Chain A
């Protein structure tokens, strides 16, 4: 199975700060990497697909980049409603696997 790691596991930042999360795959997954946002008690929501494509309706302050084994996810200006846990997921190889998540909080 492909192992997904994320860094950091949690972070606390101020409103309007730039926040970056990294995700690493244990082997090359091309650009088959998605980012999801999960708010407490809610289902995950797709934000970024294929490493860098913004899902329809998602604010442009969210972005993603990377390919191969190293990826990053950025919130350009953190907003109070962005408080959530963010997960990366690879869908290059079965079984699909998720990262451990990064919990984002407001300082």
Chain B
């Protein structure tokens, strides 16, 4: 069974960075794109971008370009998302999700990780 397990909740001060991990199991890790979506309290889901874990290519939403970095460790079947220069508006639950279709980011998202709450507060 396909599973994505994310790292635990984080509390950070404004200006700091946070790195969230997404550990995959139950499928060939390098065959699928991992995408990142966040949800601020009471807000709609917001797509952040993706990483093709096979070749390392990334695509970022323009909103997050330059402040967000996606990486992966294929030996550990784990993807990472790092957000720098955190501000209070970055307080949200961050989700990783796998593309449903092989080798493309243009795909429905299924399954999703359980989410990681990142709180930015002084």
Interface residues of A (CB under 8 A from B): 32, 34, 36, 42-46, 49-50, 55, 87, 89, 91, 94-101
Contacts and interface: CB of A to CB of B under 8 A. Distances in A.
Q: Tell me the interface secondary structure of chain A in the complex.
A: loop
Contact of A87 (B45, B49, B100, B111): B45
Interface in B22-79: 37, 44-47, 49, 59, 61-63
B47 A98 contact: yes
Contact of A89 (B45, B62, B63, B112): B45
Given A87-B44, A97-B47, A98-B45, A50 B108 contact: yes
Given A49-B100, A91-B107, A100-B44, A43 B63 contact: no
Contact of B100 (A46, A97, A98, A99): A46
